[in-house]
Amino acid sequence: MGRVIESKELAAASGGQGQYGRRVRELREKRGWKIRTHNDDASLKPGQYRMDEKPPDDHGLVFNRGISAKLRAQVFARNGSLCQMCGLMPGEIDPYTKRPVRLHVGHIKDKSVGGTDDLPNLRTLCSTCNQGAKNVTAEPPSCTRTQG
């Protein structure tokens, strides 16, 4: 409790499972675990996590793994590795966070309101837009930036 851990420690603790960042979000959002990240604590850097209180008893914990690596690659290829909301590309500096952009696959219609993990319902989003769009955006916005 209270100790900052790095992404590589999470990867090792998970036995080498992929997408441990997604698992952390699921623990926070769906299971109520109090895990802090750089998004809610400025003293933490990207890839650092801290748990400030004991997690709730949660027997039978199962994670959703609906988006395969192949499907993720298809989404990135289709969207040209470009955030579909703001137009930022990986490595550019996000004007809001002042950190390099990381892209994610996000749902157009969130699963909580009936969306699916199918290619037409997925889009590439940067971290900032993905956090802000949660359960809000019904249709894919079009960015103004063109690929060069």
Q: Where are the domains of the chain?
A: 4-51, 69-133
What does the pLDDT read at residue 133?
A: 57
The more confident residue out of 9 and 135 is: 9
Structural tokens at position 22: 């997604």
Beta pairing class for 48-51 and 122-126: unpaired
Give me the amino acid identity at 134.
Answer: K
Lowest mean pLDDT among 9-23, 46-60, 108-122, 127-141: 127-141
- Of 84, 94, 72, 91, the residue nearest 124 (C-alpha): 84
Residue 81 · residue 103 · CB < 8 Å: yes
What does the pLDDT read at residue 17?
A: 62
SS3 52: coil
What does the pLDDT read at residue 61?
A: 55
Q: Is the CA virtual torsion 129, 88, 126, 122 positive or negative? A: positive
SS3 72: helix
Q: How far apart are CA 35 and CA 54, in angstroms?
A: 10
Residue 36 pLDDT greater than 80, yes or no: yes
Question: Where residue 148 falls among pLDDT bands split at 50, 70, 90?
Answer: very low
Residue 100 pLDDT greater than 70, yes or no: yes
Phi-psi region of 15 (alpha: psi -120 to 50; beta: other; left: phi over 0): left
- Averaged pLDDT of the chain: 79
pLDDT in tens, 41-98: 889 888 888 988 887 775 555 555 668 889 999 999 999 999 999 999 999 999 988 8
Residue 137 · residue 108 · CB < 8 Å: yes
